[in-house]
Amino acid sequence: MKTRSIAFALLAGYFAVPALAAPLRIADGDCTGLRSALDAPGDKDLLLAVRGNYRSCVFAVHGNAHVDAAGSAIGRIGIVAGAQLTLRNARIGADAVSSVPAPKKSVLSPAILPGGSASFIVNEGEFSLEASSISGVAYGVLRDADTPMINSPGALNLRNVTIAGNTAYNGAGLIGANGALSIVQSTIVGAVDGEQRVTPTLVGGTGTASIANSILSGVGVVACAHGSASLGGNMLRDASCGVLASDRLGDGGFSVLGEHGGLVLTLGLQAHSLAIGAGLPSLCEATDARGAARSTAGERYCDAGAYQYGGGNGHLSEGGINGSYFNADSDGHYVMIQRIDDRLALVTWSTFDQAGNAALIYGVGEVNGTRIHVATAARNSGGVMQAEGVPRGQHAEVWGSIDIALPRCSDGSFAYTSTASHFGSGQFALSRLVAIDGVECSE
């Protein structure tokens, strides 16, 4: 028995999997705890409070840190030489959508950040910012056009990042990258206020830069100081980044800066935006900054920027199919589609029979991609409205079948075969009349 116990213990030890260390949780607003953790040498994995507020916690990172901000507000950041910071799900800045008053010099806390402390973010090490936003920051207020909002002598990686709602003063640039810079699937929009000593640049500095599947936009700004930064799939306000065949030159097409169902701020897209479908399939991220699904990499063109129009449930094959439709050549009868779950949808058709009687046809159909087949549709009849306002005596009658095809968000076709009298069979074109508020449609 002793021999068996020893053998079992040895086997258990051989196959044991080391437990993963749980992240260190930092309480909401605990600046002392956050600074202490990030100032310590070595590796650390931190988790902040969900939608917490650490905006007053100016800190510098030493060692190697991974921080999930969980939608929390973050203030000014410094990464010292040799340190690494990966920051996700952070709302950096004041979250202001419009311009904000210029901060006083005392707010800049130059003693805490590394060199270049007049900038809001200073990176002398390696900084990877993912699924995050930077907004509400006024920069260049010290009349120093050489002080960008983000001063990065080190390596800087932006992925699914939205930088919008900030204000440049005195010609200050937004990103000054003297080290390697990579921008992927991000939205960067500049804005200025007052007289500018020089034209502000969104992406400047002397380092090497690469920009893919991103948006660089704004008024009164120049996109790039790097003439060959583009890797393609971008929507660019001008040709200063270098323009490839897959890039699109243009501005605007934005909706509002807001959460849009995510933890951080994103700049939404309008249906006509040039950013929609601009991204290169091989470089498409699986999700946008909100976590909403993009297309599978290599399958179709995703949108440029941190926001996927109709992302997640907004795809036409999912919730984007919901809405009301009509026939443009015969207005007055309407088709309504409401997705029930992954495989079923409710179809309602308000129409007329061949004798001119109003009819409401309905049924639950199976969804296959962007097609819906209702094998058994029904019609209610026999009801009589009572004095109390409730009809009585109605019953459902089997009416026939319906097939709907919607290859695009805007239009499709409707076909039917009825076993009821005065209907027969037929088909007609569909055009979208109404979409569901808050649920965009993408193809």
Residue 293 — very low, low, confident or very high, per pLDDT cuts 50/70/90?
confident
Residue 146 lies in a domain: yes
What are the structure tokens assigned to 169, written together?
A: 């003063």
Q: Quick check: 296 pLDDT over 80?
A: no
Q: Quick check: 5 pLDDT over 60?
A: no
Least confident of 48-62, 160-174, 181-195, 302-316: 302-316
**Both 220 and 364 in a single domain?**
no
How many other C-beta atoms lie within 10 A of the C-beta of residue 425?
11
Over range 372-398, report the average pLDDT: 86
Residue 10 — very low, low, confident or very high, per pLDDT cuts 50/70/90?
very low
Q: Residue 409: what pLDDT?
A: 84
CA 293 to each of CA 101, 108, 113, 297: distance values in angstroms, whole numbers, following the listed order? 37, 38, 37, 11
Over range 299-317, report the average pLDDT: 77
Over range 179-207, report the average pLDDT: 87
**Both 301 and 325 in a single domain?**
no
Q: Residue 163: what pLDDT?
A: 95
Of 171, 270, 265, 158, nearest to 216 by C-alpha is: 158
**Both 88 and 148 in a single domain?**
yes
- Domain edge (last residue) among 260, 281, 309: 309
Q: Quick check: 351 pLDDT over 70?
A: yes
Over range 222-234, report the average pLDDT: 87
Pairing label, strands 371-381, 201-204: unpaired
Residues in the chain: 443
Pairing label, strands 248-249, 235-236: parallel
- Report the number of distinct structural domains present in the chain: 2
Q: Residue 57: what pLDDT?
A: 87
Q: How far apart are the first and last CA of the chain?
A: 66
Least confident of 9-13, 192-196, 431-435: 9-13
CA 36 to each of CA 100, 112, 236, 307: distance values in angstroms, whole numbers, following the listed order? 30, 13, 41, 34
Considering just the CA atoms, what is the radius of gyration of the chain in Å?
A: 28
Q: Quick check: 24 pLDDT over 80?
A: yes
**Both 323 and 304 in a single domain?**
no
How many other C-beta atoms lie within 10 A of the C-beta of residue 267?
27
**Both 209 and 256 in a single domain?**
yes
**Both 104 and 230 in a single domain?**
yes
Residue 126 — very low, low, confident or very high, per pLDDT cuts 50/70/90?
very high
Q: What angle do CA 337, 338, 340 make, to 5 degrees?
A: 140
Least confident of 185-189, 197-201, 284-288, 348-352: 197-201
Over range 109-116, report the average pLDDT: 40
Q: Residue 41: what pLDDT?
A: 86
Q: Quick check: 428 pLDDT over 80?
A: yes
Residue 439 lies in a domain: no
What are the structure tokens assigned to 8, written together?
A: 């079992």
Q: Quick check: 68 pLDDT over 90?
A: yes
Q: Residue 21: what pLDDT?
A: 65
Over range 203-227, report the average pLDDT: 89
Q: Quick check: 117 pLDDT over 60?
A: no
- Do residues 123 and 147 make contact, with C-beta atoms less than 8 angstroms apart? no
> Percentage of the chain surpassing pLDDT 70?
84
**Both 290 and 358 in a single domain?**
no
Q: Residue 230: what pLDDT?
A: 93
Domain of residue 369: give its range: 319-434
Q: Residue 289: what pLDDT?
A: 95
- Domain edge (last residue) among 245, 279, 309: 309
How many other C-beta atoms lie within 10 A of the C-beta of residue 105?
10
pLDDT digits (tens, 9 = 90+) for 80-108: 999 999 999 999 987 643 333 333 332 33
Residue 2 lies in a domain: no
Q: What is the mean pLDDT of the chain?
A: 83
Q: What is the CATH number of the domain that holds 350?
A: 2.40.160
Residue 294 — very low, low, confident or very high, per pLDDT cuts 50/70/90?
confident
**Both 345 and 391 in a single domain?**
yes
Residue 6 lies in a domain: no
Least confident of 12-26, 47-61, 308-322: 12-26
**Both 301 and 332 in a single domain?**
no
Q: Residue 371: what pLDDT?
A: 92
Residue 13 lies in a domain: no
**Both 236 and 376 in a single domain?**
no
- Do residues 320 and 441 make contact, with C-beta atoms less than 8 angstroms apart? yes
Residue 4 lies in a domain: no
- Domain edge (last residue) among 309, 330, 348: 309
Residue 193 — very low, low, confident or very high, per pLDDT cuts 50/70/90?
confident
Residue 353 lies in a domain: yes
Residue 441 lies in a domain: no
Higher pLDDT, 88 or 381: 88
pLDDT digits (tens, 9 = 90+) for 134-148: 998 888 776 555 688
What are the structure tokens assigned to 363, written together?
A: 């049924």
Q: Residue 127: what pLDDT?
A: 97
**Both 398 and 295 in a single domain?**
no
> Percentage of the chain surpassing pLDDT 90?
46
What are the structure tokens assigned to 17, written together?
A: 């999997």
Over range 56-68, report the average pLDDT: 90
pLDDT digits (tens, 9 = 90+) for 242-283: 999 999 998 878 988 988 888 999 998 887 889 988 999 989
Residue 383 — very low, low, confident or very high, per pLDDT cuts 50/70/90?
confident
**Both 206 and 292 in a single domain?**
yes
Q: Residue 102: what pLDDT?
A: 33
